[in-house]
Amino acid sequence: MSSSSLTSSTTSSATSAATGSGEFAPTIFIHPAATVCVKTHVPFTLEINSNYLKWSSYFKVLCGKFSLRPHIDAPDAPLPADPQWVIADSCVKSWFFGSVGDSVLELALVGDDQTARELWAAIEGLFTANQEWHAVLLLEEFHTLTQGDSTISEYCQCIKLKAAELQTVGNPIQGRTLILAMLRGLNPRFASTVDDITNSAVLPTFSRAMDMLVLKETRLAHDEKAIANTALLASAGSSCTSPGGC
């Protein structure tokens, strides 16, 4: 589908109003995407240190919802002479302005006549340039991640996000490597569960391993609560048998 027919199918026009001289005022086109709040669809701002893969996925879905994907990834030449195309392209550019931080826009913007596709390519270039250097830094961060005081869910989410960042620079971490990296950084109190996972005949999936650890975490929390309650009751009983009485 051409950009012209695409924008025509997604553009509404106001009824032409007659002037006093009998002439009609120019038709005003209002694109359906003009009233879209980008934050509703892309609920975070892309900054220099953000997860570009996650942001770009959200942004592509948003453009797809309104049949505007060609404005960011189609090889066709822009159509500046087509008012409907210009309106649609401006809608996409406004979404950039609403979901991309100043630190990124200042590096990507080159002029007022920059198309949405050109802006998209400039932003993409900022996050894919020097991929090998970024990969070295990200790999170091990935392999030194530890759980610390985080919950199992928080820790696993951090592992997944860092793996997603590595994928954007051409170094995907998947399967066995992802699971073993997650196990390596766990709190020592999960040692028995780590043994169960690594001694399995077939290494479980990341999701399954996470479920096993969450179950262990729940049991540990229950045991710790029971021990605390027992200690509290013992302390209260000790006070009642003291010479002063209860």
**Band of the pLDDT at 241, cuts 50, 70, 90?**
low
pLDDT given for residue 130 in this prediction: 67
Least confident interval from 77-86, 98-107, 190-199, 233-242:
233-242
Q: Residue 241: inside a domain, yes or no?
A: no
Do 107 and 177 sit in the same domain of this protein?
A: no
Q: Which residue has the higher pLDDT, 40 or 16?
A: 40
Do 113 and 142 sit in the same domain of this protein?
A: no
Do 98 and 58 sit in the same domain of this protein?
A: yes
Domain boundary among 128, 148, 165: 128
Percent of the chain with pLDDT over 90: 46
Q: Mean pLDDT, to the nearest integer, of 49-58?
A: 84
Query: Is 128 a residue whose pLDDT tops 70?
Result: yes
Number of domains in the chain: 2
Domain boundary among 80, 111, 128: 128
Do 105 and 144 sit in the same domain of this protein?
A: no
Q: Residue 242: inside a domain, yes or no?
A: no
Q: Report residue 126 as tokens.
A: 């900022």
Do 81 and 151 sit in the same domain of this protein?
A: no
Of the segments 21-25, 199-203, 240-244, which one has the largest average pLDDT value? 199-203
Rg of the chain, C-alpha, whole Å: 28
pTM (two decimals): 0.53
Do 10 and 122 sit in the same domain of this protein?
A: yes
Q: Residue 177: inside a domain, yes or no?
A: yes
Task: Answer yes or no: are the C-beta atoms of 97 and 89 closer than 8 Å.
Answer: no
Do 185 and 223 sit in the same domain of this protein?
A: yes
- Containing domain of residue 18, as a range? 3-128
Do 158 and 179 sit in the same domain of this protein?
A: yes
> What is the CA 98 to chain-centroid distance, rounded?
16
Instruction: State the Cα–Cα distance between residues 72 and 92, nearest whole angstrom.
Output: 8
Domain boundary among 128, 144, 179: 128
Do 192 and 173 sit in the same domain of this protein?
A: yes
Do 11 and 122 sit in the same domain of this protein?
A: yes
Do 90 and 149 sit in the same domain of this protein?
A: no
Q: Residue 107: inside a domain, yes or no?
A: yes
Alpha-carbon distance values, 128 to 122, 135, 166 (Å): 10, 10, 11
pLDDT given for residue 225 in this prediction: 81
pLDDT digits (tens, 9 = 90+) for 148-192: 999 999 999 999 988 888 887 778 888 899 999 999 999 999 999
Do 165 and 56 sit in the same domain of this protein?
A: no
Q: Which residue has the higher pLDDT, 95 or 82?
A: 95
**Band of the pLDDT at 62, cuts 50, 70, 90?**
very high
Task: Answer yes or no: are the C-beta atoms of 154 and 213 closer than 8 Å.
Answer: no
pLDDT given for residue 146 in this prediction: 94
Percent of the chain with pLDDT over 70: 78
